[in-house]
Amino acid sequence: MKELSNVVDPEIGMSIVDMGLVDEVKIEDNKVSVSFHLTAPFCPPVFAIMIAKDIKDRLSKMAGVKNSEVKLVGHIMADQINETINKPS
């Protein structure tokens, strides 16, 4: 997905797509779900939140997308980060 190619890991400076961090992209009607992982399960949570927020923001700006969900997997704080990123605004 082109939009995800513009999401950059702030520590490494590379696209999360080029780094192979995007695990799954699901598109159903007007909802897009993306799951991703980081380079290590103990990456600083601040970087995980930055990446997840960037993904969420880019998905919300896509034409036709009314709902989006971002899921971090394999991180020590994945549950808390996912809850924070996906809570209704």
pLDDT, one tens digit for every residue, the chain (89 residues): 789 999 999 999 999 999 999 999 999 999 999 999 999 999 999 999 999 999 999 999 999 999 999 999 999 999 999 999 999 86
Asked whether the beta carbons of 32 and 63 are under 8 A apart, the reply is no
Q: What is the CATH number of domain 2-86?
A: 3.30.300.130
- Residue 89 confidence (pLDDT): 67
3-state secondary structure 35-87: EECCCCCCCCHHHHHHHHHHHHHHHHCCCCCCEEEEEECCCCCHHHHHHHHHC
Using CA atoms, how far apart are residues 8 and 14, in angstroms rounded to an integer?
Answer: 5
What are the residue boundaries of the structural domains of the chain, listed by start? 2-86
- Residue 65 confidence (pLDDT): 93
Asked whether the beta carbons of 74 and 35 are under 8 A apart, the reply is no
**pTM of the predicted protein model:** 0.92
- Residue 81 confidence (pLDDT): 96
Amino acid letter for position 48: A
